[in-house]
């Protein structure tokens, strides 16, 4: 599909460039021209589908760098609990009864919600099953994503089989929309030797299926709560003399293709390690606040030039996939905690949700900004709304005033996946019905087991 988006305000995310009355030209999934509408229309003739963006703001698709997409099936199931109790007494027990179809349906629901909120790329960590899985759900929805299989010490051989199957069948597939990752769950659920072994597995998968331009990356929860060193000690009898990142560095598993989710309970040396090893961060402020895990020292990481991106975490712990909510929360949280209104300005936060997210996923050569040569992952936000009027600063409105429902049109890889709030790839009502039925079957299986 060849498209010209015209007469909109283009937020390119390229050195702060904003083009008013601007246009974007898309051919074969790639952006081939960006500029003023009058110049673009003079250079490009017929043969394009025209999208009128007058009164609208055109942005790079948002990048959600930490999700558990299948867990939308558990949205609202267990709320208002501490992380450990939430996981061990509620989430893990019900997850034992989730089927491959449950995982597919849950991820499909998250994909729908994400697209309708202007998110075009999602990095998800969950249990991979060959029959039906998150990768298939994303591909069916037309969503770009990094799909990982979560690994634990108690199922090493199964994990390695699943990782091989996932990478072989999905890395680079669906027209390049899907990439894969190796996902050790956390330092307290993956023992030191297995952590090192998984790094070797990641390297082997890269040799077979990855490339410098499209690597298999590494996705892990790190320092989510302050008691993580105690949990590591209890699980593996390892005494941490420094912080969690310092510990992981001692295992030689950190590099520029590692994305660490949460990073709440960090020590100063941890941040230095992250900077030196070029570890990327997914900041999940809403999930961390809801689970009372704490507040990540994001301003300190940014001062050290650590790449920080944004994530929602799962729909079970957030409880939505709305990246606009995450942007606003990230901006105001750190201002309030640090009593400094100049921290985390709107431009910086929007970058974290777009180009910063692409950098965190090692995908910034293709996505994250609106510029020639990049894939056309674009969201068009309708600013003709009372809560977005008047307009002094479009970026400020995107971070502080806009919401997911303001997204009108979404293009991924050059394909119009949503137009005027109507999804073109899936029937939204059918997906919602599938999710309700899957939830009922899941609760029936859980109840039978409890009895």
CA–CA separation, 245 and 60 (whole Å): 31
Per the domain annotation, does 448 fall within a domain?
no
**pLDDT tens digits along 361-398:** 999 999 999 999 999 999 999 999 999 999 999 999 99
Say if residue 44 is in the same domain as residue 129: no
CA–CA separation, 102 and 60 (whole Å): 31
Say if residue 349 is in the same domain as residue 412: no
**CATH assignment at residue 73:** 3.20.20.140
Per the domain annotation, does 274 fall within a domain?
yes
Q: Which of 140, 110, 155, 172 is nearest to 315 (CA)?
A: 110
CA–CA separation, 401 and 403 (whole Å): 7
Low-confidence spans in the chain with pLDDT less than 70:
450-451
CA–CA separation, 64 and 205 (whole Å): 24
Say if residue 80 is in the same domain as residue 173: yes
368: left (phi over 0), alpha (psi -120 to 50) or beta: left
Say if residue 68 is in the same domain as residue 193: yes
Count of domains for the chain:
2
- Range(s) of the domain holding residue 55: 3-60+373-423
**pLDDT tens digits along 40-99:** 999 997 899 999 999 999 999 999 999 999 999 999 998 998 888 988 899 989 999 999
Polymer length in residues for the chain: 451
Say if residue 128 is in the same domain as residue 251: yes
Last residue of a domain, one of 316, 336, 360: 360
Per the domain annotation, does 441 fall within a domain?
no
Per the domain annotation, does 451 fall within a domain?
no
Whether 99 and 139 have beta carbons less than 8 Å apart is answered as no
Read off the DSSP letter of residue 14. S
Last residue of a domain, one of 310, 329, 360: 360
Q: Which of 249, 246, 254, 338 is nearest to 298 (CA)?
A: 338
Per the domain annotation, does 169 fall within a domain?
yes
Say if residue 69 is in the same domain as residue 55: no
Q: Strand order of the sheet with strand 217-222? A: 62-67, 119-126, 144-151, 178-184, 217-222, 258-262, 280-283, 308-310
Sign of CA dihedral 385, 344, 219, 216: positive
Say if residue 180 is in the same domain as residue 257: yes
Whether 30 and 37 have beta carbons less than 8 Å apart is answered as no
Per the domain annotation, does 445 fall within a domain?
no
The torsion angles phi and psi of 138, rounded to 5 degrees, stand at: -60, -45
pLDDT (0 to 100) of residue 137: 98
Per the domain annotation, does 44 fall within a domain?
yes
Say if residue 222 is in the same domain as residue 233: yes
The torsion angles phi and psi of 61, rounded to 5 degrees, stand at: -55, 140
Say if residue 419 is in the same domain as residue 317: no
Say if residue 396 is in the same domain as residue 271: no
Say if residue 28 is in the same domain as residue 125: no
**CATH assignment at residue 389:** 2.30.40.10
Per the domain annotation, does 150 fall within a domain?
yes
CA–CA separation, 223 and 206 (whole Å): 27
* Cβ-based burial of 149 (10 A; exposed 0-12, middle 13-18, buried ≥19): buried
CA–CA separation, 423 and 357 (whole Å): 24
Say if residue 262 is in the same domain as residue 113: yes
pLDDT (0 to 100) of residue 450: 62
């Amino acid at each position: 599909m060849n498209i010209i988006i015209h007469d909109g305000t283009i937020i390119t995310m390229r050195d702060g460039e904003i083009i008013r009355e601007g246009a974007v030209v898309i051919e074969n999934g790639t952006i081939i021209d960006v500029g003023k509408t009058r110049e673009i229309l003079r250079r490009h003739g017929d043969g394009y589908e025209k999208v009128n963006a007058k009164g609208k703001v055109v942005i790079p698709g948002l990048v959600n760098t930490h999700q558990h997409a299948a867990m939308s099936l558990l949205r609202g199931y267990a709320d208002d609990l501490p992380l450990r109790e939430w996981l061990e007494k509620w989430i893990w027990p019900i997850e034992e009864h989730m089927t491959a179809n449950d995982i597919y349906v849950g991820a499909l629901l998250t994909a729908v919600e994400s697209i309708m909120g202007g998110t075009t790329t999602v990095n998800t960590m969950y249990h991979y099953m060959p029959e039906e899985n998150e990768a298939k759900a994303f591909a069916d929805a037309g969503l770009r994503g990094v799909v990982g299989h979560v690994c634990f010490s108690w199922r090493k051989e199964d994990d390695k089989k699943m990782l091989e199957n996932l990478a072989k069948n999905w890395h680079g597939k669906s027209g390049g929309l899907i990439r894969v990752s190796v996902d050790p769950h956390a330092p307290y659920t993956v023992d030191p030797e297995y952590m090192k072994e998984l790094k070797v597995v990641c390297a082997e998968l890269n040799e077979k299926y990855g490339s410098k331009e499209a690597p298999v990356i590494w996705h892990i929860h790190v320092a989510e709560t302050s008691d993580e060193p105690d949990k590591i000690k209890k699980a593996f009898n390892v005494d941490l003399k420094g912080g969690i990142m310092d510990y992981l560095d001692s295992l030689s598993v950190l590099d520029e293709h590692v994305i660490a989710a949460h990073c709440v309970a960090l020590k100063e040396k941890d941040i230095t390690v992250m900077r030196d090893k070029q570890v990327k961060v997914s900041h999940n402020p809403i999930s961390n606040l809801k689970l009372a895990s704490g507040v990540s020292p994001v301003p300190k990481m940014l001062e050290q030039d650590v790449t920080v991106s944004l994530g929602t975490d799962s729909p079970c712990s957030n409880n939505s996939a709305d990246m606009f909510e995450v942007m606003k929360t990230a901006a105001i949280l750190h201002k309030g905690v640090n009593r400094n209104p100049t921290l985390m300005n709107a431009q910086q936060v929007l970058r974290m949700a777009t180009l910063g997210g692409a950098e965190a996923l090692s995908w910034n050569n293709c996505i994250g900004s609106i510029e020639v040569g990049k894939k056309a992952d674009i969201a068009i936000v309708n600013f003709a709304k009372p809560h977005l009027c008047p307009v002094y600063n479009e970026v400020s409105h995107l971070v502080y005033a806009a919401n997911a429902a303001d997204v009108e049109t979404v293009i991924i890889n050059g394909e119009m996946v949503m137009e005027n709030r109507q999804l073109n790839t899936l029937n939204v009502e059918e997906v919602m019905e599938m999710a309700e039925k899957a939830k009922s079957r899941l609760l029936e299986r859980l109840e039978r087991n409890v009895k």
